[in-house]
Amino acid sequence: MLFLIELWESVREFIATGGDVLYVVAIALFLMWILMIERYWFLSAVFPKYREQVIANWDARADTTSWYAHRIRDRWISEAGDKLRQRMIMIKTLVAMCPLIGLLGTVTGMIAVFEVMAVQGTGNPRLMAAGISMATIPTMAGMVAALSGVFFSSRLEAKVKIAQESLVDSLPHH
């Protein structure tokens, strides 16, 4: 329990140093990871059952060679692709937004530096340093959040593509 309290205190200090924009970065990161975990769960637990159902439906058809049968096959493949790609645009958007949110923190931190300079002048470097750290920490946090999202979302996208191609290969095109 003491470890968790110390961890929470260090997170609070980090946020106090970087400013309130870090809360927005944290929310975006949390939402991005919830969506990615949901997609990984879908790919590993839900989609295999759906895939088997589509294959069973195709195998149960008496007609698999007519133009009409091929349109049904294409529709099932398209529906599966839609299910696979759900929320991927939202994930990519959150990945792209994280550095931009960090840049917002940079702007607010620089405004704080300029306010100190306007009130105190340039003679107090300690006050200016607080504003500079408030300007750089959100940028770093946004970039780290985006980097974690880029790697895992690209892996997720590759898995989605492989799953859809596997379904296409499993439905024989006579």
Mean pLDDT, rounded, for 130-152: 88
Place of tokens 């949390």: 30
Q: In this structure, is residue 3 part of a structural domain?
A: no
pTM of the full structure: 0.83
Stronger pLDDT, 24 or 131, i.e. the higher one? 24
At position 88, the amino acid (one-letter code) is M
User: In the prediction, which pLDDT does 128 show?
Assistant: 73
In a domain, 13, yes or no: no
Mean pLDDT value of segment 81-105:
94
Q: Sorting pLDDT into bands at 50, 70 and 90, what band is 174?
A: low
Domain contains 15: no
Considering its fold, how many domains does the chain have in total?
1
Distance CA 5, CA 85 (A): 39
**Looking at the domain assignment, is residue 75 inside a domain?**
yes
Domain that holds residue 90: 20-170
Q: What is the pLDDT of residues 24-60, one digit of tens each?
A: 999 999 999 999 999 999 999 999 999 999 999 999 9
User: How many Cβ atoms from other residues are within 10 Å of residue 19's Cβ?
Assistant: 22
What type of residue sits at position 63? D
Asked if residues 156 and 123 have their Cβ atoms less than 8 Å apart, the reply is no
Q: Where are the alpha helices (DSSP H) in the chain?
A: 2-18, 21-41, 47-60, 67-85, 88-120, 125-170
Residue 14: inside a domain, yes or no?
no
Which amino acid is it at 21? V
Looking at residue 120, its pLDDT comes to 76
Across the range 94-115, mean pLDDT stands at: 88
Across the range 133-144, mean pLDDT stands at: 88
For residues 63 and 52, the model is more confident at 52
Query: Would 12 be classed as within a structural domain?
Result: no
pLDDT at 168: 92
Q: Is residue 7 part of a domain?
A: no
Query: How confident is residue 117, by pLDDT bands cut at 50, 70 and 90?
Result: confident
pLDDT the model gives residue 45: 96
User: Is residue 10 a part of any domain in this protein?
Assistant: no
Q: Which pLDDT score, from 0 to 100, does residue 14 have?
A: 79
> Is the pLDDT reported for residue 67 higher than 70?
yes
